[in-house]
Structure 1
Amino acid sequence: SGGYRTPASRRAPPALAAAHSNIRTPYVYGATGPSSFDCSGLTSWAYAQAGVGIPRTSEAQTGAGTRISSMGDLQVGDLVFFFNDLHHVGLYAGNGQVLHAPRTGTVVRYESMSTIGGPFMFGVRV
């Protein structure tokens, strides 16, 4: 059991797979894919590919499911929120990694949650 947890729900694995299919896609503020994304555009598009409608903005996505307060309880595919104003969201990818669209000038990528630049606030299990 090398720390791997079973996926959060049947919807989480296809959502994460959809986001993974967009590795290296450019970040564009306000973009909802599939040729470019912002952070919440990526997460909402990914869940849409899994047949799940979630709100468009990171702030609204905080209400899309069950809140997970402890990083240790996160499961693959959970939404993870950063910064006190909750302006950044990504998909938890396991092992302390997030799959996200970071900011202008970057691309969709995996990154350690410890290098996001703002504190992890909580997760949401859709």
Structure 2
Amino acid sequence: MTYLVLCAIFLPLAALVLAAGLARSGRARAVLRTWWLPAVVTAVLLAVLTATFDNLMIAAGLFEYDWDGLTGVRVGRVPVEDFAYPLGALILLPGVWLLLAPRGGSGDDTEEDR
């Protein structure tokens, strides 16, 4: 299995968990309105951190890839597939948060919730 196939399985599953969490919250619009900016900022920070530290770890020889299973597209030494994992976490974790929140809750503390 290539890393791209693994990403093609993992990311849609993470999106399904988020969709289920949004549906369960009953307040999808309010949640998205509240969470979109923190999610974008987090995505940018995760991308920068992934590029920085993965490049350092690969350069230091801490791990290597089976390059035959990669697309060949890189950011420095980092295969582009590596960026799918933090993106998946960014999608998956809010979905889990919403699924674990009390029914009808958004998992956030907005004015509308008080």
Do these two structures clear the TM 0.5 threshold for a shared fold by scoring above it? no
Q: Identify the structure with the greater strand proportion.
A: 1
How does the TM-score come out when normalised to structure 2? 0.25
Greater radius of gyration (CA): 2
Q: Identify the structure with the greater helix proportion.
A: 2
How does the TM-score come out when normalised to structure 1? 0.24
Structure with bigger RCO (C-alpha 8 Å, 6+ apart): 2
